Amino acid sequence: MRLAVVATLYRSSQTLEAFHARVSAVVVSLTDDYEIVLVNDGSPDDSLDVARRLFGRDPHVRIVDLARNFGHHKAMMTGLAHARGDLVFLIDSDLEEEPELLRVFYDTLRTSGADVVYGVQGTRRGGLFERVSGWLFFKVFNLLSGQPIPVNVVTVRLMTARYVAALVSHRERETMIAGLWALTGFDQVPVTIIKGENRGSSYDLSQKIAVLVNSVTSFSDRPLVLIFYLGLVIGAAAAAAAAYLVVQRLFFGVALPGWPSLIVSVWMLGGLMLGSLGIIGMYVSRIFIETKQRPYTIVRHIYERSADGAVRGDTADGRPLLH
């Protein structure tokens, strides 16, 4: 059995040494045929230098150095595309998810016969804002998306090679990886975990809203369908109101002052039209981005060893090694 561990690096210099030691200890208890793939997502600290030191003393370490910061989800997909294992263990390097979960996941995968074992938080960690915003994200996404995702799903997961091959075959430029995990299918088994409190979330409210909007518009056309039904409802309400006013005038001689209601109606309809155009515009922008067919990451350098143990690297010359 060959096992690949994939982790991304972004401001990870403080935890990377400990992560490597802990993940190596649990991996060697399962197999001596393994690799640890570290993807440097343009980290602004010295994470790459720490990874290079690990590469220098551990022949199992491979480094995929991206040309800049492309984002967590895209970096994970890049690492999975470069992984060479019958089983692939994906985990963050910040130690919020314990590397020792690999043993639990491996036993679950073997006994269940599933293709994926993934972690979910039984109780979402963090303060009130973190818990409420997380709950709203999953609630709204699953309400608007045609492909629901497990509530409180986390990064850590163990996957078979055939599942990983199917997962990285997706070519979206706007990537929401939790949706792709669910969309790919296969037999998937959840395991409840407790996520650590190593550091707070790096996302503020505006960033979380942006992630939610990007996620929904990447995976569902329901907002467009809702615009259509909203138009029908407003049209029906306007027709009913017009009929009411005509009846009041013709049969009861009531002339209702209409300026306040007219202004409110104009502003309401104007806001709805602008909001609807904004939603349509986001979908048009998705089409624009996807038709460009740009690679979603560009690899600057790969640090790895050949079969005889010699160090070799591919500078990539700026070429997109992952399309």
Q: What is the pLDDT of residues 192-212, one digit of tens each?
A: 988 876 555 555 566 667 766
Highest mean pLDDT among 19-23, 183-187, 276-280: 19-23
53 contacts 47 by C-beta, under 8 angstroms: no
Is residue 317 over pLDDT 60? no
262: left (phi over 0), alpha (psi -120 to 50) or beta: alpha
Q: What is the CATH number of the domain that holds 53?
A: 3.90.550.10
116 contacts 190 by C-beta, under 8 angstroms: no
In angstroms, the Cα distances linking 65 to 47, 175, 193 are 11, 19, 30
What pLDDT does 15 receive? Answer: 93
Helix (H, G, I), strand (E, B) or coil at 6: strand
Looking at the fold, whether 124 and 252 belong to one and the same domain comes out as no
Is residue 9 over pLDDT 80? yes
Q: What backbone phi and psi angles, to 5 degrees, belong to 85?
A: -150, 150
88 contacts 159 by C-beta, under 8 angstroms: yes
The least confident of 2-16, 137-151, 227-241, 248-262 is 248-262
d(CA 276, CA 115): 41
Looking at the fold, whether 228 and 190 belong to one and the same domain comes out as no
What pLDDT does 128 receive? Answer: 66
Residue in the structure block whose two tokens are 């999953």: 138
Dihedral sign from CA coordinates of 204, 208, 209, 211: positive
279 found inside a domain: yes
Looking at the fold, whether 122 and 198 belong to one and the same domain comes out as yes
Is residue 38 over pLDDT 50? yes
Structure token pair of residue 218: 């990447």
211 found inside a domain: no
What pLDDT does 129 receive? Answer: 64
Mean pLDDT, the chain, rounded, equals: 81
210 found inside a domain: no
31 found inside a domain: yes
If one counts the domains in the chain, the total is 2
Helix spans in 113-159 (H): 128-144
178 found inside a domain: yes
109 contacts 158 by C-beta, under 8 angstroms: yes
215 found inside a domain: no
Model confidence at 1, in pLDDT bands (50, 70, 90)?
low
d(CA 92, CA 194): 14
Model confidence at 320, in pLDDT bands (50, 70, 90)?
very low
217 found inside a domain: no
Looking at the fold, whether 246 and 191 belong to one and the same domain comes out as no
Looking at the fold, whether 135 and 255 belong to one and the same domain comes out as no
What pLDDT does 319 receive? Answer: 43
Q: Which domain holds residue 82?
A: 3-204+294-318
